[in-house]
A and B are shown apart, each in its own frame.
Chain A
Amino acid sequence: MIYDPAPLAIFIFLGFVFGTVGLSFYLGRKAKSSEGYFAAHGQIPWAVNGVAFAGDYLSAASFLGICGMIAAYGYDGFLYSIGFLAGWIVALFVIAEPMKRLGKFTFADALDAKFNSRGIKGAAGISTLVVSIFYLIPQMVGAGSLIQPLLGLPHWVGVVTVGVVVIMIVVTAGMVSTTWVQFLKGSLLVIFSTVLVVMLLQKGLTTDTSSFETIGPLSEQDLKQSTIAGRKVIPPTGGWLSTEGKTQEFIRFVPEDGRAGYDVFHIDDIPGSDEKLLRQAQSVTGSGASKLIDGAPNGRESGERELQPIGHLSKLPGGKTSTGPLGPISFFTTIGDSEVILWGSTTITNPEGPKTTIYYQKPTSGERVLRPGEHPKFAGIRGESFGDKLNFLSLMLALFCGTASLPHILIRYYTVKDGSAARKSTIVGIATIGFFYVLTLYLGLGAMTSGALDLTDTNMSAPLLANSIRPWLFAVISAIAFTTVLGTVSGLILASSGAVAHDLLIGVMGIKLSGETQVKVAKLAAIIVGGIAIILGVLFKELNVGYLVGWAFSVAASANLPALVMLLFWKKTTKEGIIASVLVGMISSLGWILLSRDTFKSVYGLDPDNAIAPFSQPGIITIPLAFITLIVVSLYYRSRDMGAQEASA
């Protein structure tokens, strides 16, 4: 899609960004000490910290990724909402108080409270770095997606802008300003998402049968003619031909009005009939500046074509064309009784030149979009393959265990004064985040039927839904989403820089640094981590940010949670056990992801059938593996030490 940057949007957006950075400068000017920089002196009020939890947690994945996934496939994206929220139960009931009691600045502090071991500091510091960088990728990808429609700039500009602004925030600020920025952002995100949902329900649902053409019904014989419904067929060649074992799926026509390129249609079966319908599709050939849309250069000038926005209902219950205002329950029941147009895609190879991806309409009953299993990555739960079911269980386990293992969430427990405040702020966090996740289902389904979606970028669904309702709302929502990314990235970079300065340099290498020098080193580390995040954000731009976050959760849950839980609840835990558990959990989950089908397909561009890992989500194997490693290694070292004690006695 080609986006028109609107002056109002740019004005509101820049106002938000400058406001955020200004606030950071203002609040950060006193954060010279390490306590102030890393932990805000433990003086943040619990209610503020609770909303700041929401600010930290409701990242690009929640707002952009989940809404995008729901908009494209229905209920499946909401599974992430449920898993993400459930993870807070682990954080509140198991982790919150001990974290506050045991640590000071970083996650490694808590893990190392009992042993004072360089090995633990090193392993936990590295794991913090790895998880934070993994979690940074989707944030940066989301930032790039946002900048495109808002300012009309390329994806990479968005990624670089976020990187630079965040580095400025972290370098000039620290935990006090990050917390207040998160508080502000968390509040605004929930408030304006609520406004958006209320306006969406007020607007109700409408059908759209005119944006895309439908031709038919046609017989098999009609489809073999050189002219169909008065339109001249382009004889199929190359990948457009029907191949052995596969019937022809698409027909191309010469455009009627002398436009460039071609009009492409998908040949659709009519249930219970031998006849077919032709539904208009859209095609993209190649990428970058040489990209072709329906065979013509991408653009709005004469001789060019652009992708049309998608997302509509083809039928409403009772043959209506519009519902008028709906309530929070009738919104779902109406969609359930309607027919929604989802979009599928397929790729054909051209003998010469780049591949063509064809996006085609898939009329889908509303009941189906309100149930799990429509997304290709979740479709396995309706199949027979046990591996697919295991993949699903693995993802849901990682989401459940991952929240309480995310370093940038864990360090927020150090910004309040005691365990009781940590508890209360988690409860406020759960209320805020839970409410927002309820909204995601409305936002996603609203976007699905808004007629405003970008076919090639699901991450933009929620802001584009806002645009279909009011342009100013689009500007505000996009600006909040952008500051959402800024805030989460700041938190992650802060956690990473703390790990480098506090855990690795002081804890492991034993370098003595004064509070002020520690802060300077951390700021330098922030610049480096920010740079890495920028590069990764550009490389991974094709992937849905929600899906990427699933991976970050898997690594966090495998590396951090087993060690933290066993330290709290198993007295025989040894330092060797903790080190082994963190390293095994981190390396095994990371290795699994790098060898999985999804990475082969989306990152390396290789045949996914050659992937080594049997399914994509590692958690169900690697989380228990980290637990077992800790138990076995701890028992071994305990028996060895006891044997040595007996021998010396």
Chain B
Amino acid sequence: MNTSESPSPQRRFNTRLGLFLFLVYLALYSGFVLINAFAADKMEIIVLVGLNLAIVYGFGLIAFALVLALIYGMLCQKDPAEDIATEEAAAAPGDSK
């Protein structure tokens, strides 16, 4: 537990990256929800290979979540503080009665 320590540059990078990707997804999700709420008729428009906007946007949101998750997983940096904590935990497994 190291909330009082200043975070490592790696952790700061990860946090900012996470927030950025979160905002990207939030914008897309909000778009979907707002179209549904205030222009539901638009969801019937056929947009791709005979499929309407509701299905394409809905499947797109699911697929895009995975794409963003993979980007995040690839770009995230290893926090050195974690290695120390993991080693300490391995050395003292704690309550194992």
Which residues of A does B touch, CB under 8 Å? Answer: 32-36, 41-42, 75, 78-79, 81-82, 85-86, 88-90, 92-94, 97, 101-102, 113-114, 329, 332-333, 336, 367, 370-373, 381-382, 389, 392-393, 396-397, 400, 417-420, 423-424, 426-427, 430-431, 434, 437-438, 441, 514-516
Contacts and interface: CB of A to CB of B under 8 A. Distances in A.
Given A34-B95, A371-B43, A419-B82, A381 B37 contact: yes
B64 to A, nearest CB: 9
Contacts of A367: 44, 52
Contact of A79 (B36, B63, B66): B36
B72 A93 contact: yes
Nearest to B50: A333
A427 B78 contact: no
Given A32-B97, A389-B37, A420-B79, 6 more contacts: A34-B95, A113-B3, A371-B44, A372-B54, A381-B40, A430-B65
A94 B22 contact: yes
A97 B51 CA distance: 38
Contacts of A514: 97
Contact of A423 (B49, B65, B76, B86): B76
B62 A101 contact: no
A198 to B, nearest CB: 18
B2 A101 contact: yes
Contacts of A333: 49-51
Nearest to A30: B96
A437 B80 CA distance: 36
What 9 A-B pairs come out closest when comparing CB atoms?
A93-B18, A93-B22, A333-B50, A515-B95, A396-B33, A427-B69, A434-B62, A418-B82, A389-B37
A41 B93 contact: yes
Interface in B39-86: 40-41, 43-44, 49-52, 54-55, 58-59, 61-63, 65-66, 68-70, 72-73, 76, 78-79, 82, 85-86
Given A33-B96, A93-B72, A419-B79, A85 B59 contact: no
Interface of B: 1-4, 11, 14-15, 18-19, 21-22, 25-26, 29, 32-33, 36-38, 40-41, 43-44, 49-52, 54-55, 58-59, 61-63, 65-66, 68-70, 72-73, 76, 78-79, 82, 85-86, 89, 93-97
A300 B88 CA distance: 68
Given A94-B18, A434-B63, A371 B97 contact: no
B93 A393 contact: no
Contacts of B93: 35, 41
A78 B72 CA distance: 26
Q: Name which of A389, A400, A417, A420 has the most chain B CB atoms within 10 A of its CB.
A: A420
A438 B62 contact: yes
A333 B46 CA distance: 10
B97 A90 contact: no
A102 B66 CA distance: 26
Contacts of B11: 97
A423 B1 CA distance: 18
A424 B22 contact: no
B24 to A, nearest CB: 9
Nearest to A92: B69
Nearest to A95: B18
Contacts of B61: 82, 85-86
B58 A78 contact: yes
Given A32-B97, A85-B62, A400-B29, A423 B55 contact: no
B62 A82 contact: yes
B60 to A, nearest CB: 10
B36 to A, nearest CB: 5
B82 A336 contact: no
A438 B59 contact: yes
A78 B51 CA distance: 15
B73 A423 contact: yes
Contacts of B32: 82
A360 B65 CA distance: 40
30 contacts: A33-B94, A35-B93, A79-B58, A81-B62, A82-B62, A85-B61, A85-B62, A86-B65, A89-B21, A90-B22, A92-B18, A92-B69, A93-B19, A97-B14, A332-B51, A336-B50, A367-B52, A370-B55, A371-B52, A381-B40, A382-B40, A393-B37, A397-B33, A417-B89, A418-B85, A420-B76, A427-B69, A427-B73, A430-B66, A438-B62
A420 B65 contact: no
A446 to B, nearest CB: 15
Q: Name which of B4, B21, B37 has the most chain A CB atoms within 10 A of its CB.
A: B37
Given A41-B93, A93-B18, A97-B14, A437 B62 contact: yes
A438 B70 CA distance: 18
B61 to A, nearest CB: 5
A373 B40 contact: yes
A92 B24 CA distance: 14
A100 B63 CA distance: 26
